[in-house]
């Protein structure tokens, strides 16, 4: 926004250095450009706001992270970016990084944003899940849920792979859980300080195994990433019913 840009510009002048900020856009649930593009708004923005904000943001804007972006958006953006013909100023275009997924597999995102803050920014996804709401594992991809964790807390979950069509055989997914710990102290900005720990070993779970339950007691602050994988199936999507809870011990 203009107010944020003006605030950063004033802060930069007072401190004698350029103060920058990162922006994060979570595209989870968006399937087409029509869901994020409003021509009427864009026309007014380009006329009244863009000329002002572009001159300020080019210097104060750090990185624009676009998370949970559909793979075809990611490929299209990288193609347009390489052609250098976009209407967006090149200074801004070079700051945009499109990430396929929630950013938990990108060490640069984790380093800049932090595991705990990333999970808080994605918390709206968890709030929408509710108890026993069905989620679908996309063909040849993985289905993730992020939970912010801290010491003294217990995270529990249960899930069940739904049978699906009997003509296609038994439905199954690969399940595992990983903790991504936030660095602390003076090391938090140093490269390579992100700690990852596999807390549930990968295993295959089929519809015949019934309801699966588990829990985790974190030893530090960070993110617990629950992952259901379907990379072994190219022609069949899988459905599962899940529930995630977190509470203080």
- Concatenating the DSSP letter of every residue in 22-45 gives EEEEE-TT--SGGGT--HHHHHHI
% of the chain with per-residue pLDDT over 70: 67
Q: What is the pLDDT of residue 88?
A: 60
Residue 15 has a CB neighbour count (10 Å cut-off) of 9
Name the strand (E) or helix (H) holding 205: strand 195-206
**CB-side neighbour CA atoms (13 Å) of 133:** 11
Domain spans of the chain, in order of start: 2-98, 114-248
Q: What is the pLDDT of residue 202?
A: 94
Q: What is the pLDDT of residue 1?
A: 60
Residue 80 has a CB neighbour count (10 Å cut-off) of 14
Q: CATH number of the domain at 114-248, please?
A: 2.60.120.680
- DSSP code of residue 183: P
Give per-residue pLDDT as tens, 120-176: 666 545 444 444 344 555 545 778 888 888 888 899 999 998 887 777 778 899 999
Instruction: Compute the mean pLDDT over every residue in the chain, rounded to the nearest whole number.
Output: 75
Q: In what order do the strands lie in the sheet containing 61-67?
A: 21-26, 61-67, 96-98
Pairing between β-strand 61-67 and β-strand 21-26 as defined by DSSP bridges = parallel
Both structure tokens of 49: 């706001």
The residue with tokens 């840009």 is: 5
Q: Assess whether pLDDT exceeds 80 at residue 239.
A: yes
Residue 105 CA to residue 33 CA, distance in Å, equals: 25
Q: Assess whether pLDDT exceeds 90 at residue 46.
A: no
Diameter of the chain measured on Cα atoms = 69
Q: What is the pLDDT of residue 128?
A: 45
CA distances from 1 to 6, 7, 46, 57, 60 (A): 9, 10, 13, 9, 12
């Amino acid at each position: 926004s203009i107010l944020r840009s003006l605030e950063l510009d004033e802060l930069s002048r007072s401190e004698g250095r350029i103060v920058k900020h990162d922006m994060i856009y979570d595209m989870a649930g968006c399937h087409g450009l029509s869901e994020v593009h409003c021509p009427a708004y864009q026309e007014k923005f380009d006329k009244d706001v863009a000329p002002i904000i572009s001159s300020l943001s080019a210097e104060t804007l750090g990185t624009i992270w676009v998370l949970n972006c559909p793979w075809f958006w990611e490929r299209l953006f990288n193609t347009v970016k390489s052609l250098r013909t976009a209407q967006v100023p090149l200074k801004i275009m070079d700051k945009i990084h499109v990430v396929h997924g929630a950013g938990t597999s990108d060490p640069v995102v984790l380093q800049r944003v932090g595991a705990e803050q990333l999970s808080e920014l994605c918390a709206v996804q968890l709030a929408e899940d509710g108890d026993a709401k069905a989620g679908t594992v996309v063909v040849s991809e993985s289905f993730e849920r992020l939970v912010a964790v801290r010491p003294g807390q217990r995270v529990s979950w249960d899930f069940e792979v739904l049978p699906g069509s009997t003509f296609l055989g038994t439905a199954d997914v690969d399940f595992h859980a990983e903790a991504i710990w936030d660095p602390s102290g003076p090391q938090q900005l140093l490269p390579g300080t992100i700690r990852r720990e596999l807390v549930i070993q990968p295993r295959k779970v089929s519809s015949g195994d019934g309801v699966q339950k588990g829990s985790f007691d974190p030893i530090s602050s960070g993110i617990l990433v629950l992952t259901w994988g379907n990379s072994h199936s190219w022609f069949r999507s899988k459905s599962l019913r899940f529930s995630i809870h977190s509470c203080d011990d």
